[in-house]
Amino acid sequence: MDVKTFAKYFDHALLKAQATQSEFEAYCQEGIKYEVKMLAVNPAAVQFCKRQVKGTPVLVGAAIGFPLGQMTVESKLFETRDAIEKGSDEIDYVINISALKSGQHGLVSEEMKCLVALCREKNTPIKVIFENCYLTEDEKKRLCEMANEIKPDYIKTSTGFGTSGATLADVKLMRKYADAAIKIKASGGIKTYEDVKQLIAAGVERIGTSNTATIIQDYKKERGET
């Protein structure tokens, strides 16, 4: 694929708590330069980033319930609605991990239904973050089954703030148990073009990383471009 097509795999992330406005400015310009699919930010940064990318095809997405997922459904709904009203083009939300670990599958499923329904109403793609590093294989499989029922646009491996990030094994498991219509996003610890190449081969359709520039530059070098 050409470089522009490759760049559309990337949700370019700046989610650290201490990011300054000057860092956000540089980050937005980097996203525009490489023509990434989306800038992934916390909700407070959505409006600023939308102003920066105005007139470009680069989208802005909000991370909801980030990074722990330990908010009420009502809180996540408010945060999602507010982010969309402020210009967020896509939503990535963290499941209630504690509820899942406690066997409260009905709560986790209801949360997913409510958030997916709101995003459908607002015509906004939604990604469900599993945070696989804390889950058993059975729990990951159960989340895939919920997703098959509820139909979010994407299921996603990780926040990047857990004990580990995306793994090939997790991507393969998610691709095995999730319906083909549900896309997979890998995020967390993705640093090299080799990482990305393997993840795409395993079925990933979106990559969340803060190492976007380095990875795209390495892809260009492989193609003999500068």
Active-site pick, 11, 50, 89, 92: 92
Q: What angle do CA 111, 116, 118 make, to 5 degrees?
A: 100
The size of the chain, in residues, is 226
Residue 30 is inside which H or E element, if any?
A: helix 21-34
168 and 198 in contact (C-beta within 8 Å)? yes
Q: Using the 8-state DSSP alphabet, how is residue 20 labeled?
A: -
Give the number of other Cβ atoms within 10 Å of residue 85's Cβ.
10
Q: How far is CA 223 from CA 57, 194, 226, in A?
A: 24, 14, 9
Active site residue 138: no
Give the number of other Cβ atoms within 10 Å of residue 194's Cβ.
10
Active site residue 50: no
Active site residue 156: yes
- By CB atoms closer than 10 A (0-12, 13-18, 19+), residue 17 is exposed
Catalytic residues: 92, 156, 185
